[in-house]
Amino acid sequence: AQSVTQPDIHITVSEGASLELRCNYSYGATPYLFWYVQSPGQGLQLLLKYFSGDTLVQGIKGFEAEFKRSQSSFNLRKPSVHWSDAAEYFCAVGAGGSQGNLIFGKGTKLSVKP
């Protein structure tokens, strides 16, 4: 069965520092992979997605993610974090087939120190 693991429940970084959020997935075929961000009281906003091709994908708000098939990982990165990036981040894998519903990880809460 498909699954997503986000090993870090909570991460704190200083403003201006680099960020990497980890995501590991379990899926039998080439997955569709996504990162979403959720601010308090808000719905989820799609940051970026990977289907195929270039394993380094660029997203909105200066985020990027790299798909590594050998490690079953899809880590999210940002070179310089802004205070407004504080939010919860969810990695998701497309369940495939005709449905296309998403399997989400439990999320990583990002706090940003001034």
Partner 1 sequence: DTGVSQDPRHKITKRGQNVTFRCDPISEHNRLYWYRQTLGQGPEFLTYFQNEAQLEKSRLLSDRFSAERPKGSFSTLEIQRTEQGDSAMYLCASSPGQGWGAFFGQGTRLTVV
Note whether 95 and 83 are within 8 A (CB): no
For residue 84, what are the contacts with CB-CB under 8 A and spacing of at least 6? none
Stretch that binds partner 1, among 16-24, 37-45, 64-72, 76-84 (CB under 8 A): 37-45
Q: Report the alpha-carbon distance of residue 91 to residue 89 in Å, rounded.
A: 7
Shortest distance, position 95 Cβ to partner 1, whole Å:
8
Residues within window 46-85 making contact with partner 1, judged by CB under 8 A: 46, 49, 51
Shortest distance, position 91 Cβ to partner 1, whole Å:
8
Stretch that binds partner 1, among 21-29, 60-68, 75-83, 102-110 (CB under 8 A): 102-110
The CB density around residue 60, as the number of other CB atoms within 10 Å, is 10
Q: Report the alpha-carbon distance of residue 13 to residue 42 in Å, rounded.
A: 22
Please say whether the dihedral angle defined by the alpha carbons of residues 41, 57, 114 and 88, taken in this order, is positive or negative.
positive
Shortest distance, position 38 Cβ to partner 1, whole Å:
9
Residue in 12, 14, 101, 111 binding partner 1, rule: CB under 8 A: 101
Where on the chain is the footprint of partner 1 (CB under 8 A)? 4, 32, 34, 36, 41-46, 49, 51, 90, 92, 94-96, 98-107
